[in-house]
């Protein structure tokens, strides 16, 4: 039985507590939050202890693993503290918005080699992992193109965007990770372009809300990502893998499906899953199950700090490409 | 808060306990089963009391409502006992396999008018109820045809079939209820035909495993049901409503969907939901929620003993039609 | 080179002339019609001769084959005349509406064994013949159910219906032929029911416009046909074959397909092919090609007078079943 | 009646002759080819005159319009000759591979203002033009993204590729024209990347066979094109328009569609149309009909030399972008 402390009682903290409670091989012992009220409310629901001090939870001998769901700027310190305490860590992405701070994290983890998993949950979506398995099994032959559509139903609040690091680092980074994970390559260079079309307030922050990204892989394969902060018909999440032997496509998942044929049209009453909490609900459960299993069996973790470091490097290259209007080679660790 | 006793700790009893536990407005107080062991195991999971005597649970003053999930032959006695005790009853379908015993139940319920709901869960499937709402809203104009495909992934054990009442009464009765509920009519007459094609052991029992049913409604609308005990590609559940202004179709629900295009074919890796517990999972939750709400608010219940009585009469007419090879007019109450 | 006379210059005559002209192995020599004007107009288009006397065309030595597209009551006499003249005959369905006259035709053809093909064109639709080939190849294992949806966009003129023989004989007969052809069986008995829901004028003629048919095959397989004279969303033509190893479905063909996703719905702007001339255009060409090839190579013809005789017997049984409200065993030759 | 001379008797010449013959308002008078044999063969089929001298056909007084389907390097001279003779011209794309020669053509046409249409046939595909109409009608609101997938079933012969001008100029130019036509904008700048993954012989020519292109429009809309010379599952032609109010998608057209469900998978036996002659068959007919109509009614022609000039400028910018690995602003006329 793995004893867990969840740091953070916000939206993501609640999801992780919920999934920890569902897993039979672990027990939620602590919920840590800045205010005792929010910690207690969440802890009570799962018969865990509430606490406002991260160090208390981390240094408690009974605790085996820490799940970090607190604001991004706190990640590095908590990872460092947990690493020094020898606790396994699951860290919500990103490690940090600054590459030099991510590198610092890598150094810490090199010095204190704890089990460390980064929360790229979409890898654990059954449909996406099935597509990747098929690509690795050679179903499309040599991979020639990988195309990813990722459009949110609506933008986050403007004050969230102010400290988000920009569209590529906040959002495209998920797609970048999937691209590298599916293709098993890191891009030689990226070209990106973007616009502010959804909300002028986003533009006033110097950010964009509509973008496209192109990545050239060492094998010659070419990847494409398109992102929008506002898709009125719902959360649009599709991947297409094209290669020498064929093509694979994931489909958007509909809540249910009723077809209606009339004299003038055919309609499908089939709303898409609303947003990432609904669409990727399964993946949030599976990623925690995999983390717990890896901690319990002391097996290596595939979704880790290096993936986070590389995805950030690529996202930064995208960001630069929009400004400098040329291909940028990401700097890998 | 409605206090509940669930009678029966088998597969259906477990589902109802699970859904009672999820509902915030009720509390599982008793689990009753013939053996204390199975009652205790299930009761323990939900911190309820175990008991082997139905009367103990029913006559407990704290209990407001009884959920009957015990074997069919016990339904009538339990309903009678609960009605006399003035408890609300949710009864898994059917009330009984014999029409005269169902009529006895109707008499009892007339004498002791308790809130009574019958477990025709499919009505509460969001997709099916959405189709019905669209039909009632006039989306297809006047209803001309209603077609229902209902094919199980595999037959039940032969010993279950021995006391099941025959294919129409055991299985088609679900489809019959949906037909009447969607069309808001009761058939004038039915014509049915059937074969034993799946397993000769079913034929040795005098039963069939493949059937088609046709029903002529008072409005002139014609309904069709096709049933099979064995659909190798999964649980096939589709409804089509055709009328003067168009057509509506429900679609089978897939667990996920990955399209694969190669030089010789297009494949869809998209298994259907396996069987009724998976496909109609939502409906089992919703029907309990609706029952609890009706008990709490003392509102009338639409899915009741009369629906069960009529569906059985129609199923018996189907059964006779196969034997007598002619149209049979069901005898309604 | 096969020299052809087409009898009849109406809608079907025009289609056959068009397809004769497209076939490289035959030449349209005569177009025969009651009025010289209509014969000339059509003949001129294909540089053929016009004529008002059937006997002139049939007895012309240069003519190898006759295509009969004149009104149904004339078919028997023309077939007889052509058979006696030793000419190959392609006859638009039906041979006749009266079974005793069809039997007379069978006798004539037994006495004068000419190549004879009946115009059950739907067998030659690439999609339907592909489904049949898959069924024969065992793709669905043993056939358990065959379901056919056939709904017209609009009813024919009432004066046409007056002499059409009734809905089953005029229209369902196509579906009946497909059922027998795909299953390779003739039904033991049929049960049918029907209503007049589309146009009361059809009911005043004693006819129906909405029907369902059920057929029990010697193997135990069960067939279903549903027909409507009015499907507002277009010509609806679907076949489903269900068996021990799986299911096959043909899909309606759309003229083109544009999907539209908005905040409230998903629409498909994809009108169905309007009616049989559009939907089965290919089949009308292919059936003529097959006829010409059979005449040229003196090979046997599979779609012949016996198929017409059997389909009529089954349609008549459907007609009786509606009246007598019981299963009727068709009388085969 | 418009009298036509078709220059060129190759694959495209044959298609244009076929479609001229189908149009009731024009007459094919001349087929011109370098060898009398090929000109005669084609001319004979349509009862036209064969000829080896372009000038003879152009300067024949009876000729109203010239359709140019000869090799690209000959286009400029023929257009010039026809313009000076005051004949209407339909010119297969491209006008020329060299922008200075296209500019020369523009000058000539400015001096001799004849009706001139360029063969961007895909604009006339019913599905694509329906999508554009919906975009112009505001169905997706403001256009934010336009994505075009265009993948050929197999590469052309290497010797054709040697003088094709490179992948963007030979092939992507079609997609570029559609992008500009649908969005009604010309890109501010393009970014493109490409690889040789299909056939190393293509790489030896210095060409690519797999590419992606990104275009930033003045409105901020972003366009994407992906191209491959080899799609094993057939000619893949899809367009997606995404905007503030929704999304529109064209679908690939299937020859027919048979769904097959078995215990392990769902298959769709539905081959795509093989290549452009099959997929865009309708568009080749419609573009000629529109040309004839414009000549007859002396109306202005929308698909003209300026569209060809701009698409070439953009394709050249794509070509440069791959080499220089930066965004390139096309130089418009």
Whether C232 and B245 lie within 8 Å, measured CB to CB: yes
C-alpha to C-alpha distances, A56 to A59, A66, A84, A302, nearest whole angstrom: 5, 12, 14, 29
pLDDT in the model for residue B42: 95
- C partners (3+ CB pairs within 8 A) are A, B, D
Would you tell me the crossing angle of helices B11-22 and B36-45 to the nearest 10 degrees?
A: 30
Per the CB < 8 A criterion, the answer to whether A279 and A237 are in contact is yes
Whether A222 and D194 lie within 8 Å, measured CB to CB: yes
pLDDT tier, D86 (very low <50, low <70, confident <90, very high otherwise): very high
C-alpha to C-alpha distances, B300 to A110, A207, C253, nearest whole angstrom: 67, 56, 47
For residue A248, give the H/E element and its range. strand A246-250
Interface probe for B, chosen from A255, A256, A266, A282 (most Cβ of B below 10 Å), is A256
Beta-carbon contacts below 8 Å between A and C: 30
pLDDT in the model for residue B114: 97
Whether C251 and D269 lie within 8 Å, measured CB to CB: no
D116-161: per-residue pLDDT in tens?
Answer: 999 999 999 999 999 999 999 999 999 999 999 999 999 999 989 9
D263-277 mean pLDDT: 75
Whether A262 and B246 lie within 8 Å, measured CB to CB: yes
pLDDT tier, C278 (very low <50, low <70, confident <90, very high otherwise): confident
Class of domain D2-114: alpha beta
Give ranges for CATH 3.40.50.720 in chain B. 2-114
Whether C325 and B189 lie within 8 Å, measured CB to CB: yes
pLDDT in the model for residue C269: 65
Read off φ and ψ for residue A120, nearest 5 degrees.
Answer: -80, 75
Query: What mean pLDDT value characterizes chain D?
Result: 94
B73-106: per-residue pLDDT in tens?
Answer: 999 999 999 999 999 999 999 999 999 999 999 9
- B partners (3+ CB pairs within 8 A) are A, C, D
The interface pTM score, or ipTM, of the predicted complex is 0.94
Whether residue D255 has pLDDT greater than 70: no
C-alpha to C-alpha distances, A130 to A286, B258, C174, nearest whole angstrom: 14, 8, 44
Tokens 């030399």, located at residue = D305
Q: Which of C250, C251, C259 shows the shortest C-beta gap to D249?
A: C259
B15-25 mean pLDDT: 93
Whether residue B255 has pLDDT greater than 70: no
B152-172: per-residue pLDDT in tens?
Answer: 999 999 989 998 999 999 999
For residue D105, give the H/E element and its range. helix D99-111
Per the CB < 8 A criterion, the answer to whether B252 and B151 are in contact is no
For residue D12, give the H/E element and its range. helix D11-22
pLDDT in the model for residue A13: 96
Q: Which of A232, A263, A266 shows the shortest C-beta gap to C267?
A: A266
Which residues of chain D neighbour A224 with C-beta distances below 8 Å? Answer: 212, 224, 226
Query: Could you tell me which chain D residue has the CA closest to the CA of A228?
Result: D144
Give ranges for CATH 3.30.360.10 in chain B. 126-283+310-324
Whether B268 and D266 lie within 8 Å, measured CB to CB: yes
pLDDT in the model for residue D262: 83
Of chain C, the percentage scoring pLDDT greater than 70 comes to: 98
C67-120: per-residue pLDDT in tens?
Answer: 999 999 999 999 999 999 999 999 999 999 999 999 999 999 999 999 999 999
Angstrom distance (rounded) from CA D125 to CA D127: 6
B178-192 mean pLDDT: 98
Whether A269 and B130 lie within 8 Å, measured CB to CB: yes
Query: Could you tell me which chain A residue has the CA closest to the CA of D236?
Result: A247
Instruction: Give me the CATH topology for the region D123-283+310-324.
Output: Dihydrodipicolinate Reductase; domain 2 (3.30.360)
Angstrom distance (rounded) from CA A301 to CA A88: 11
Angstrom distance (rounded) from CA A122 to CA D158: 42
pLDDT in the model for residue D266: 77
Which residues of chain C neighbour B193 with C-beta distances below 8 Å? Answer: 191, 214, 216, 222, 327
Query: Could you tell me which chain C residue has the CA closest to the CA of D126?
Result: C256
If we measure between CA atoms, which residue out of A131, A240, C131, A244 comes closest to residue D233?
A244
Whether B228 and C145 lie within 8 Å, measured CB to CB: yes
Distance from CA of A186 to the nearest CA of D (A): 16
pLDDT in the model for residue C256: 64
Per the CB < 8 A criterion, the answer to whether A80 and A74 are in contact is no
Which residues of chain D neighbour A244 with C-beta distances below 8 Å? Answer: 197-198, 230, 232
Whether D197 and A244 lie within 8 Å, measured CB to CB: yes
Q: Which of A127, A256, A262 shows the shortest C-beta gap to B256?
A: A127
DSSP D122-186: GGG-HHHHHHHHHHHTTTTSSEEEEEEEEE-SSPPPHHHHHTS--HIIIIIHHHHHHHHHHHT--
Give ranges for CATH 3.30.360.10 in chain D. 123-283+310-324
Distance from CA of B116 to the nearest CA of C (A): 36
Tokens, residue C261 = 């996703």
Whether D134 and C247 lie within 8 Å, measured CB to CB: no
Tokens, residue C308 = 């017409």
Which residues of chain C neighbour A270 with C-beta distances below 8 Å? Answer: 266
Per the CB < 8 A criterion, the answer to whether B216 and C213 are in contact is no
User: Given strand C49-51, what is the order of strands in its sheet?
Assistant: C49-51, C26-32, C2-7, C65-68, C88-91, C116-118
Q: Indicate if the alpha-carbon torsion angle A128, A134, A136, A142 is positive or negative.
A: negative
pLDDT in the model for residue D269: 65
| D217 dihedral zone (left: phi>0; alpha: psi -120 to 50; beta) | beta
pLDDT in the model for residue D111: 98
C277-296 mean pLDDT: 93
Q: Which residues of B touch D (CB under 8 A)?
A: 232-233, 261-263, 265-270
Whether residue B38 has pLDDT greater than 70: yes
- Those residues whose C-beta lies under 8 Å from the C-beta of residue C144, and which sit 6 or more positions away, are B195, B197, B198, B210, B228, C220, C221, C222, C242, C243, C244
C-alpha to C-alpha distances, B318 to B166, B184, B314, nearest whole angstrom: 10, 19, 6
Q: Which of B256, B259, B261 shows the shortest C-beta gap to A126?
A: B256
Tokens, residue A132 = 């990747």
Whether C222 and B327 lie within 8 Å, measured CB to CB: no
Which residues of chain A neighbour B263 with C-beta distances below 8 Å? Answer: 245-246
Class of domain C124-274+310-324: alpha beta
Count, residues in chain C? 333
Whether C248 and D260 lie within 8 Å, measured CB to CB: yes
Query: Could you tell me which chain C residue has the CA closest to the CA of A232?
Result: C263
Query: Could you tell me which chain D residue has the CA closest to the CA of B236?
Result: D261
Whether residue B57 has pLDDT greater than 90: yes
Q: How many CA atoms lie within 13 A of A268 on its CB side?
A: 19
Helix, strand or coil for residue C25? Answer: coil
If we measure between CA atoms, which residue out of A219, A220, A225 comes closest to residue A238?
A225
pLDDT tier, C267 (very low <50, low <70, confident <90, very high otherwise): confident
Integer-rounded Cα radius of gyration of chain A? 20
Q: Which of A130, A255, A269 shows the shortest C-beta gap to B269?
A: A130
B216-235: per-residue pLDDT in tens?
Answer: 999 999 999 999 999 999 99
pLDDT in the model for residue B264: 75
Q: Which of C130, C257, C260 shows the shortest C-beta gap to D258?
A: C130
pLDDT in the model for residue B274: 76
Whether C265 and A267 lie within 8 Å, measured CB to CB: yes
Q: Which of C261, C262, C270 shows the shortest C-beta gap to A266?
A: C270
Which residues of chain D neighbour B269 with C-beta distances below 8 Å? Answer: 265-266
Distance from CA of D265 to the nearest CA of B (A): 6
Q: Which of A263, A266, A269 shows the shortest C-beta gap to C268?
A: A266
- Rounded to the nearest angstrom, the gap between the alpha carbon of residue C64 and the centroid of all alpha carbons in its chain is 23
- D partners (3+ CB pairs within 8 A) are A, B, C
pLDDT in the model for residue C254: 72
Whether D127 and C263 lie within 8 Å, measured CB to CB: no
- Those residues whose C-beta lies under 8 Å from the C-beta of residue A207, and which sit 6 or more positions away, are A161, A164, A166, A167, A196
Q: Which of A232, A261, A265 shows the shortest C-beta gap to C263?
A: A232
Whether residue D68 has pLDDT greater than 90: yes
Query: Could you tell me which chain A residue has the CA closest to the CA of B128?
Result: A258
Q: What is the CATH number of domain A126-283+310-324?
A: 3.30.360.10
pLDDT in the model for residue C255: 66
Residues of chain A with pLDDT under 50: none
Whether residue B275 has pLDDT greater than 90: no
Distance from CA of A258 to the nearest CA of C (A): 11
Which residues of chain B neighbour C266 with C-beta distances below 8 Å? Answer: none
Query: Could you tell me which chain C residue has the CA closest to the CA of A262?
Result: C233
D289-302 mean pLDDT: 95
Which residues of chain B neighbour A251 with C-beta distances below 8 Å? Answer: 257-259
pLDDT tier, C155 (very low <50, low <70, confident <90, very high otherwise): very high
Helix, strand or coil for residue C329? Answer: coil
Whether A226 and D221 lie within 8 Å, measured CB to CB: no
- Those residues whose C-beta lies under 8 Å from the C-beta of residue C127, and which sit 6 or more positions away, are C250, C251, C253, D256, D257, D258
**Which string of b and e fits C268-299 if b means at least 16 CB within 10 Å?**
bbbbbbeebeebbbebbbbbbbbbbebbbeee
Q: Distance from first CA to last CA of chain B, Å, rounded?
A: 35
Peptide bond into C45 cis (omega under 30): no
- A partners (3+ CB pairs within 8 A) are B, C, D
């Amino acid at each position: 039985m793995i004893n867990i402390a969840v740091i953070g009682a916000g939206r993501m903290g609640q999801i992780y507590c919920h999934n920890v409670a569902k897993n039979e091989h672990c027990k939620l012992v602590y919920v840590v939050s800045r205010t005792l009220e929010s910690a207690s409310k969440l802890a009570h629901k799962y018969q865990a202890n509430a606490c406002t001090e991260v160090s208390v939870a981390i240094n408690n001998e009974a605790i085996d693993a820490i799940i970090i769901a607190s604001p991004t700027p706190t990640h590095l310190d908590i990872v460092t503290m947990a690493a020094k305490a020898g606790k396994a860590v699951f860290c919500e992405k990103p490690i940090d918005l600054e590459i030099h701070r991510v590198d610092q994290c890598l150094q810490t983890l090199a010095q204190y080699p704890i089990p460390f998993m980064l929360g790229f949950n979409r890898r654990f979506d059954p449909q996406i992992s099935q597509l990747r398995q098929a690509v690795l099994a050679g179903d499309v032959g040599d991979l020639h193109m990988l195309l990813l559509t990722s459009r949110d139903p609506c933008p986050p609040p403007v004050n969230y965007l102010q400290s988000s690091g920009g569209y590529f680092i906040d959002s495209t980074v998920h797609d970048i990770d999937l691209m590298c994970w599916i293709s098993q390559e890191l891009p030689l260079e990226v070209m990106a372009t973007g616009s502010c079309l959804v909300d002028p307030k986003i533009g006033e922050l110097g950010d964009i809300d509509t973008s496209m990204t192109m990545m050239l892989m060492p094998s010659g394969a070419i990847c494409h990502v398109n992102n929008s902060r506002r898709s009125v018909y719902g959360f649009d999440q599709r991947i297409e893998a094209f290669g020498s032997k064929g093509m694979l496509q994931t489909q958007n998942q509909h809540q249910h499906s009723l077809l209606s044929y009339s004299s003038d049209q055919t309609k499908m009453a089939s709303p898409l899953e609303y947003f990432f909490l609904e669409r990727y609900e399964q993946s949030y459960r599976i990623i925690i199950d995999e983390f717990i299993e890896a901690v319990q069996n002391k097996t290596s973790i595939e979704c880790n700090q290096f993936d986070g470091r590389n995805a950030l490097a690529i996202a930064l290259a995208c960001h630069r490409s929009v400004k400098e209007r040329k291909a940028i080679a990401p700097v890998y660790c």
